Amino acid sequence: MNTSPSQTVVIFAWLLCGIMFNTGLCSFTIRCKQQDMHALLNFKQGVKDPSGLLSSWSTELDCCEWRGVNCNNITSRVTDLSLPCSTTLPSYLDREDKSHCLTGSIHLSLLLMELEFLDSLNLRNNDFFAIQFDYMHNHNCHNLSATTPHHCVNSSTLRHLDLSLNTKLVLNSLQWLPSISSLEYLNLRYIDLSKETNWLQLVTMLPSLSYLNMRSCQLEDLSLSTQYANFTALKVLRLSANEFNSELPKWLFNLSSNIYSLDLSSSSLIGHLPKALLNLRELEDLVLEDNNFDGPIPDWLGEFEHLQVLIIGVNMFSGFIPTNLGNISTLTNLDVASNPLTGVVSERNLAKLSKLKVLYIYSYSALIFDFDSHWIPPFQLEELVIGFANPNLPTWLYTQKSIESLTISGSSFEVQDKFWNYVSRMSELELEGNSIYGNISNVLLNSTFIDLSSNGLKGCLPRLSANVAIAALSNNSLTGDLSPLLCDHKMLNGKNNLVFLDISQNQLSGGLTSCWKNWKSLVAIHLGSNNLEGKIPPSMGLLPNLTSLHLHENNLHGEIPSSLQNCRSLLVFNVRNNHFSGNIPNWISHNVMALQLSNNLSGTIPPQMFRLTGLSSLNLSHNKLAGKIPNEIGNMKNLESLDFSTNQLEGEIPESLSSLSFLGSLNLSFNNLTGKIPSGTQLQGFTALSYMGNRDLCGPPLTELCFQDDKHKDTKLVDEDGHRSEFWPWFYIGIESGFVTGFLGVCCGIFLSRRLRHAYFKIVSDLRDRLYLMIVININPFRKDAEQYWHFSLFKRTN
């Protein structure tokens, strides 16, 4: 290893300190290098830091003590910069909140040039949108002039680079990548690389690369000019969630013998699995799910000697599940689910899999389970996903004492107390899309995660233990009221962990109860599409963490209570299709993202409504709202869906509505709106259905035309004062009457005078002959094709 004179001095000093430590003669400390500190401060200056993540980065502290910075214990040079952003994504929202993450542009080449001993750079899951990398080959450094804006980057120490999950980041080029020749770990997951068509060749120029993750990078080309790829050190390759639309390439089968993990899932791959995959003898993980592979599942897969994870579900594999898969005694995870497989599954398919922990086995075609009723598997599963055509559960299921997660889908079976007692110790229970026979009125649900949706379950609501965090029982035939589930105080003992409750699309009746004060951990409540009645109880306002509330399509009435203003975290509020009355609440949180208040509300739209700048969906349809649409609606820049239909709104559509660039759904139908639809905007991109039922609206996309006066007022038939004019209607009536009168006069003259009649028919006959001759001469070459097209059109209409 080559060391500089300064490094030699430092190392010697530390060795000397080690020798003299006991004598107390070593008392100096080495501080952060000025070069590194200035590089980090330049990085800080170039990014935006809304949450103050870099607040400790000041000259008052040694830069080795700054957040996210690690230094070498001997040289004090910066070796590690780790600034990942932590975000959470609730299941009922479709986007992450990254408002607190670092954003802006990264000058990567400058950072690597100045932090010359940087070993690892981790900027994972931030909100950066650009990377600057002024790249020149190292051997051309001496050719740079003082006016050249590029930098010569010597980044031979960087081994770990993680820029993943910066979802706004678009990299048009990766030409800079080979200059970081020491890279061993590269993670570009969820970065847009669609414009870099040479990505594969550039990546192969990293001789030390052992880990490569380019999942969901919008890559398309998986081919190489040669069938060999220079991945001499590669151990992990993850190229999932791209759009390759090809068969597996030949270079893949000639990868390094060191590769042990291969993930090509969700990448639109096609064809049969080639036996050349066996060249990768050391494979431990093979993940090919969610592609378009077809043909039978190859029995040669059973020849892999080290395979631990085999995931080939969600493809088009057909036929039987080969018994050879049961020979892979090293398997811990086997997934062949969601393929059009047929036939019988028995203990022969699983008999040698003693290490199996995870098993996914079901088919769209309903596999037949033919297990010996006395068979005891050699494994103890931790996770099981099955689907079967048999009327009964397989008896070996009850021998599995380690299962933490059980999913049964697409099956028909009867459950009794034995089953509910068995699953009560599992942390996750998912029975969705089955036909389950049995009453669950007396069942106690105990799992942390429970999904019993779409099963045809009957009876009253079950009870929940304090362990339940997520309970989904939607789309069943459950009856009765909410009391059994919400008001059993003795069972809860004042404690519960319920976060998500979905019992929508059932036949529940009665009121909303007043027991909500016992469920303060609730974040999301879905009670829509039932027969619930009465008013919203004030106790719902005692849920401080409530983020999503759905009460739509019930028989609720009264005013929306002001107590809900205490739910300061509310983001989604949906009470459409009820019988509420009164005015629109003026206390709705500014953070709300989706608002649906379709019922019998009256009054005008309150101005504070348009301070909800984070709103993405607003539905005030089927009310009795009057007045104009305020111009302030243009402030709601994030609005994607807007529905004001079936109200009594009047006036013109405000011009500011055209500034909502994300608006993808609009319904203003059946109001009293007037004037011209603002032109030159995306408002013309919606169909006439968005505006129908407004008699005095005009302009595209409506067929009703508008007229403009000298003052450019976009109104229908207006005079100079901007009022509806009486002149224009009578003007057009006069024109039409004159045309009709003249036309009738000509007709009478022709048919009452024999001489005129003969002259008229002679002119028409001559004109017909001339037209026929012209058509025959000019169109005859296409006559055969025309006849064939006419016969084809007739066939389509009659069939």
- CB-CB contact of 429 with 449 (8 Å): yes
Residue 245, domain member (yes or no): yes
Q: List the chain residues with pLDDT less than 50.
A: 1, 5-6, 9-10, 13-14, 16-17, 19-28, 91-94, 136-151, 709-724, 750-751, 754, 756-758, 760-761, 764-765, 767-799
Domain of residue 380, residue span: 220-403
Give the integer Cα–Cα distance in Å for 688 and 667. Answer: 10
**Cα–Cα distance between 382 and 380 in angstroms, integer?**
7
Between 754-779 and 727-752, two packed helices, what is the crossing angle to 10 degrees? 100
Distance from chain centroid for Cα 647: 33
- Give Cα 57 distance to the centre of its chain: 35
Residue 169 CB neighbour total at 10 angstroms: 22
Phi-psi region of 513 (alpha: psi -120 to 50; beta: other; left: phi over 0): left
pLDDT of 334 reads 97
Task: For residue 165, give every residue at least 6 positions away whose Cβ sits within 8 Å of its Cβ, in sequence order, or none.
Answer: 124, 125, 126, 189, 190
What residues have CB less than 8 Å from 729, skipping those under 6 apart?
A: 717
Token readout for 258 is 């060191």
Residue with tokens 């990567």: 108
71 is a domain residue? yes
Q: Which of residues 376, 403, 430 is at a domain's end?
A: 403
CA distance linking residue 177 with residue 254, whole number of Å = 23
Chain mean position to CA 284: 30
Please name which of 301, 349, 339 lies closest in space to residue 319, comparing C-alpha atoms. 339
Whether residue 568 is contained in a domain is answered as no
Closest CA to 9 of 77, 101, 74, 55: 74
For residue 391, give Cα distances in angstroms to 336, 395, 431, 714.
Answer: 22, 12, 15, 69
Query: Does residue 244 sit in the same domain as residue 114?
Result: no
Dihedrals φ, ψ of 333, to 5°?
-140, 115
Contact 323, 345 (CB under 8 A): no
- Give me the residue label for tokens 């631990």: 308
Alpha carbon distance 698, 51 (integer Å): 48
Give the three-state DSSP class for 500. Answer: strand
Residues 181, 255, single domain; the answer is no
Ranges of H-type helices in 21-67:
34-46
| Residues 109 and 234 placed together within one structural domain of the fold | no
- How many other C-beta atoms can be found within 10 angstroms of the C-beta atom of residue 54? 19
Do 286 and 376 lie in one domain? The reply is yes
Q: Among 403, 435, 459, where does a domain finish?
A: 403
Which residue, among 300, 302, 354, has the nearest Cα to 327 in the 3D structure? 302
Structure tokens at 108: 């990567």
The label of the residue with tokens 């007043």 reads: 514
CB within 8 Å of 320: residues ≥ 6 apart: 296, 341, 342, 343, 344
Q: How far apart are CA 99 and CA 179, in angstroms?
A: 33
What's the CA gap between 222 and 255, in Å, rounded?
Answer: 14
239 and 342 share one domain: yes
What CA–CA distance (Å, rounded) separates 473 from 450?
8
CB atoms within 10 A of CB 134: 16
In the DSSP assignment, the letter for residue 679 is: P
Same domain, 164 and 134: yes
Helices (H) and strands (E) in the chain, counts: 10, 49
407: left (phi over 0), alpha (psi -120 to 50) or beta: beta
- The residue written with tokens 């790249």 in the block is 135
Neighbours of 589 (CB within 10 A): 17
Kindly state the tokens that stand for 347.
């203990």
Tokens read off for 290: 């969610």
Tens-digit pLDDT profile for residues 413-429: 888 889 999 999 999 99
CB 666, CB 642: distance < 8 Å: yes
Determine, yes or no, domain membership for 4: yes
Alpha carbon distances (Å) from 289 to 293, 294, 625, 699, 778: 9, 12, 51, 51, 59
Q: In a 10 Å sphere around its CB, with 0-12 CB exposed, 13-18 middle and 19+ buried, how is residue 532 labelled?
A: buried
CATH of the domain at 249: 3.80.10.10
Strands (E), 394-451: 405-409, 412-414, 428-432, 435-437, 444-445, 449-451
Give the C-alpha separation, 265 to 315, whole Å. Answer: 10
The answer to whether residue 642 sits within a structural domain is no
CA distance 734 to 488: 79
- Main-chain dihedrals φ then ψ at residue 81, nearest 5 degrees: -120, 110
Task: Let me know whether 318 and 305 are in one domain.
Answer: yes
Same domain? 247 vs 378: yes
CA–CA distance, 315 with 338 (Å, rounded to integer): 7
Find, among 441, 448, 382, 447, the residue nearest to 417 by Cα.
Answer: 441
Does 13 share its domain with 80? Answer: no
d(CA 474, CA 526): 9
- To the question of pTM greater than 0.85 for the whole model, the response is no
Predicted local distance difference test score (pLDDT) of residue 29: 56
pLDDT at residue number 404: 96
Question: Is 369 contained in some domain?
Answer: yes
User: How many domains, the chain?
Assistant: 4
Provide the token pair at 248: 């597996």
Residue 575 lies in a domain: no
| DSSP bridge pairs for 463 | 444
User: Would you state the pLDDT for residue 151?
Assistant: 45
Residues 170 and 250 in one domain: no
Q: Are residues 103 and 224 in the same domain?
A: no
Q: Which of 403, 433, 452 is the endpoint of a domain?
A: 403
Identity of residue 277: L
Instruction: Report which of 551, 591, 546 is spatially closest to residue 564, judged by C-alpha positions.
Output: 546
pLDDT digits (tens, 9 = 90+) for 706-750: 875 434 444 444 444 444 455 555 555 555 555 555 555 555 554
Quote the CA–CA distance of 380 and 364 in Å, as a whole number. 26
**CA angle 733-734-739, nearest 5°?**
100
385 and 268 both lie in a single domain: yes
Sorted by sequence, the CB contacts under 8 Å of residue 540 that are 6+ apart come out as 512, 516, 546, 549, 561, 563, 564, 567
| Alpha-carbon span 190 to 166, nearest angstrom | 7
**Is 237 part of a structural domain of the chain?**
yes
